[in-house]
A and B are shown apart, each in its own frame.
Chain A
Amino acid sequence: MTLTPEIIALLTLDVIFLGLGTLALILSLRIAYRWDYAAVTPLQYRLTKQSTLVAVIIKYIFVLKLPLFLFFIYTCDKLSAVITGAMCASGVVNSIGFGLDLTLFKLFNLYGFGFWLLLHAEDASHVRLAYTRLKLILFALLCVPLFTEIILEIGFFTRLDVSKIVSCCGTLFSAASSSASLSLLFNVDARVWVGIFYLVYTVSLIALWLKSTAGVIVSNTLFLIFALISLIVFFSTYVYELPTHRCPFCLLQKEYYYVGYGLYVMLFTGTFCAVGGGLLASITHTIPYRYWRLSGFFNTAYVVSISAYPLAYYLKNGVWL
């Protein structure tokens, strides 16, 4: 167990989230069970007030989770200087078996709670608060990944062993990776992944144009997945200008001008607006033009900026990596 001040800060906030989250969960289950908008009983009156507390707690958690996600990556990055063998956050994240799962859970929760806030905003401006029960049930469901994440994080930092020697990203993200699913990625030709990436992007644009809710949701989910795969397998090598250096984390380091933060923000915002707006549309039966316009903008910005790396490399050197 390593108690650096960074870890203490993350753990303190985790405990707060756990406490407030439990309170919100209990309240929301009770409200969801007893909710009756038409009633004018004191109970319903109390429930209405309590539902604002639930919303406040969730907003608090989400608003902090957003920068904390970056801080988590940053802390891992910093720890990589201490842990032998790790060169960036990926080594630290993977030094514990469930490290990668933890990162994915964090990402999923950001999407989940982001969507919850969209639904909440929709509910609060509805004349009859029609989505209150739905949003509270959704929160209760989201509590499962939220608590899993928090418990995983506490487990992660208490088990993190600084003296253990870990692998660096060079071996983790290669065909020799110990993880079967990861090594599979590298055994397939990178051009296939890149092709799928551009294909899915085109499909997502068409879906936006056709205003097909299901199409937008599915294509953007796929876009997110293949964007990450093609980033690891193909595009990252051009950022590092090294054919063997494939890593989704080193992008975030100073050597590469923290470009990863910008790229990830574009990618995550773009896909979030599409999927979140789409899910919202399927509930409220209206087309969320604003979210989808944003999504189209950010996704395109991501595709343009990530494509610029290999293109610039080719124009400069006349060869592909």
Chain B
Amino acid sequence: MIVVSNVSKMFTQAEECVQALSHVSLHVAQGECVLLKGASGSGKSTLLSLIAGLAQPTSGSIVVDGEEISKMPERLSAKMRRERIGFIFQKFHLIPYLSVQENVTTPLVPENIPLHVIEAKAKRAMERCRIAHKAHMYVHRLSGGEQQRTAIARALVRNPMIVLADEPTANLDRKLSLSLIEELRALKHEGVTLVVATHDPLFFDLDFVDQTIELHHGVLRP
């Protein structure tokens, strides 16, 4: 499903070259759950954004679902993200002053789909995440758990094959973190490929994790 081969990524920050990733290779099969461990600044997020096609590697290649996302023009990689990849961010990153439903439909906006199709898709995703009853509430008025479910509904609205989670439990209390883990477990059972970047110890001994990979200063540790 995801093949990362020999990827390096350099940043130029304040006239200085920073090696964010060096020669990383990774293979994630369909339906697998992969845990990316590492301290902050170790390159986890960079790797996620490369897999999602949000940035291009300096060298190496990334193939997602048979297509080389690392060499795609932006418009096509965006289409790929919309259709096959769901994102769960740190602190959820919901868009404030929009309702739950509007947040959930955001990934559908760029496409020219009839309104009733969009609404049906949003409804399905919201029902699955048990947030449909709050569909027209503003997200900044929701509780933490509800915000979390909205964020997951947003990631699932297009039925993605891959869900990428970036530090999903950072800034969450234990209870919320555990419920998030349960959501991820449910996704895994549905056959969704999961890549979770985290340094939260809660994740370390989960039974549904197939692969654990540790990054240290941009280098993969076996």
Contact = CB atoms under 8 A, between A and B. Distances in A.
Direct contact of A and B (CB under 8 A): yes
A45 B56 contact: yes
A128 B71 CA distance: 8
- Centre residue among A40, A48, A125, A129 by max chain B CB count within 10 A: A40
B12 A40 contact: no
Contacts of B73: 48, 124, 126-129
B211 interface: no
B72 interface: yes
B59 A40 contact: yes
A96 to B, nearest CB: 45
Summarize B's interface: helix, strand, loop or mixed: mixed
A42 interface: yes
Given A40-B56, A40-B59, A48 B74 contact: yes
B174 interface: no
A320 B8 CA distance: 80
Interface residues of A, number: 10
Contact of A127 (B12, B57, B76): B76
A42 B10 CA distance: 10
A48 B77 CA distance: 14
A124 B56 contact: no
A124 B59 contact: no
Contacts of B59: 40
Interface string B72-114: 1111100000000000000000000000000000000000000
A42 B58 CA distance: 9
Contacts of B57: 40
Contact of A125 (B58, B71, B75): B75
Nearest to A45: B56
Nearest to B58: A40
A124 B76 CA distance: 9
A111 B42 CA distance: 53
A124 B78 CA distance: 12
A124 B75 contact: yes
9 contacts: A40-B59, A48-B73, A48-B74, A124-B75, A125-B75, A125-B76, A127-B73, A128-B73, A129-B73
Given A40-B59, A45-B56, 8 more contacts: A40-B56, A40-B57, A40-B58, A42-B12, A124-B73, A127-B72, A127-B73, A128-B73
Interface of B: 12, 56-59, 71-76
Q: Which 5 A-B pairs have the closest CB atoms?
A: A129-B73, A40-B56, A40-B58, A124-B75, A42-B12
